[in-house]
């Protein structure tokens, strides 16, 4: 399938894919910002205590740059490792002792942290972030982007298979909370990744599994992603069309990672109505 060369409004029509795979957080639902806030809460708590204990300057987690570069689109533990590596911090995968103090049960404390900075682990930070995200989800709810819902409904009317894809184990809960779980033919998420031993983005495994379940070849399938890791996964998987959704001012970076076209909202993928003779 040739990549269309015209504007975004014709890209899907010209590509004529058999299936479209959509990332969940930031593409289907307005939850990327909730994830970023949860990461900031947990990382800042850890970094603040670490800086205090070591007599160092506290450098907070940036919910813009740090989230987009190191965390967005990745499985939780991978996101923890990538961000900590960017700060030159190496933590054990699991705490050596006393899971109650390190937060390995997944329950965040009042501050959303994960125990003393000297005792914390990758797993403890990942669990604390999960608890902070779920607390925000239960408290504030979640909404689906109207333009995405409209596009998915049009694709289904046209007989094109659609899948919701996410590295998160909470994908089903998020889609149900937004009231859009029934819109998708297939869902592939972090639960499937653990069960099937699928590598996280930027590896293409999640998307390839979604295409397989829809009975579509990658060369006849489009991927829609808002994360740098997700766009890279789409390109690595040999998918016919990779659409980047820029909601955070990173259009150039999305294109550099392999997006064939970048839009600010999926409404731009809707073809303009035909104009009849006057």
Same domain membership, residue 146 and residue 82? no
Coil, helix or strand for 203? Answer: coil
Please write the tens of the pLDDT for every residue from 4-52: 445 677 888 888 999 999 999 999 999 888 888 999 999 999 999 999 9
Same domain membership, residue 261 and residue 151? yes
Same domain membership, residue 171 and residue 106? no
- Asked if residue 248 is part of any domain, the answer here is yes
Q: How many domains does the chain have?
A: 2
Q: Is position 25 annotated as part of the catalytic site? A: yes
Instruction: Provide the domain limits for residue 64.
Output: 33-140
Same domain membership, residue 174 and residue 48? no
Same domain membership, residue 153 and residue 20? yes
Catalytic residue among 25, 127, 189, 192: 25
Please write the tens of the pLDDT for every residue from 73-130: 888 899 999 999 999 999 999 865 544 333 332 333 334 455 555 579 999 999 999 9
- Asked if residue 274 is part of any domain, the answer here is no
Same domain membership, residue 157 and residue 23? yes
Same domain membership, residue 113 and residue 46? yes
Total count of residues recorded for the chain: 278
Residue carrying the six token digits 């596009």: 151
Same domain membership, residue 170 and residue 104? no
Please write the tens of the pLDDT for every residue from 263-278: 999 999 976 554 444 3
- Asked if residue 107 is part of any domain, the answer here is yes
Same domain membership, residue 169 and residue 104? no
- Asked if residue 277 is part of any domain, the answer here is no
Catalytic residue among 23, 45, 72, 78: 23
Same domain membership, residue 225 and residue 152? yes
The residue out of 88, 109, 140 marking a domain boundary is 140
Burial of 53 (0-12, 13-18, 19+ CB in 10 A): exposed
Could you tell me the two tokens for 77?
């533990």
Same domain membership, residue 132 and residue 160? no
CATH number of the domain that residue 242 is part of: 3.40.50.1000
Q: Is position 72 annotated as part of the catalytic site? A: no
- Segment (H or E) for 161: strand 161-165
């Amino acid at each position: 399938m040739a990549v269309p060369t015209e504007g975004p409004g014709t890209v899907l029509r010209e590509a004529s894919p058999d299936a479209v795979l959509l990332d969940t957080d930031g593409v289907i639902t307005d939850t990327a910002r909730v994830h970023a806030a949860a990461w900031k809460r947990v990382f800042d708590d850890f970094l603040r205590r670490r800086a205090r204990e070591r007599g160092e300057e506290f450098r907070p987690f940036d919910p813009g740059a740090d989230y987009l570069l190191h965390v967005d689109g990745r499985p939780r533990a991978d996101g923890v490792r990538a961000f900590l590596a960017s700060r030159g911090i190496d933590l054990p995968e699991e705490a050596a002792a006393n899971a109650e103090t390190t937060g390995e049960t997944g329950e965040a404390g009042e501050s959303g942290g994960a125990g003393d900075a000297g005792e914390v682990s990758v797993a403890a930070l990942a669990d604390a972030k999960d608890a902070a995200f779920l607390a925000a989800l239960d408290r504030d709810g979640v909404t689906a982007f109207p333009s995405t819902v409209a596009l998915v409904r049009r694709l289904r009317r046209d007989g094109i298979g659609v899948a919701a894809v996410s590295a998160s184990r909470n994908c089903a809960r998020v889609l149900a909370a937004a009231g859009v779980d029934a819109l998708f033919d297939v869902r592939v998420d972090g639960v499937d990744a653990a069960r099937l031993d699928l590598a996280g983005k930027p590896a293409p495994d999640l998307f390839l599994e979604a295409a397989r379940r829809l009975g579509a070849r990658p060369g006849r399938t489009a991927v829609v992603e808002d994360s740098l890791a997700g766009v890279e996964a789409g390109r690595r998987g040999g998918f016919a069309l990779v659409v980047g959704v820029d909601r955070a001012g990173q259009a150039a970076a999305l294109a550099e990672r392999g997006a064939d076209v970048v839009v600010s909202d999926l409404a731009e993928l809707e073809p303009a109505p035909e104009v009849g003779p006057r």
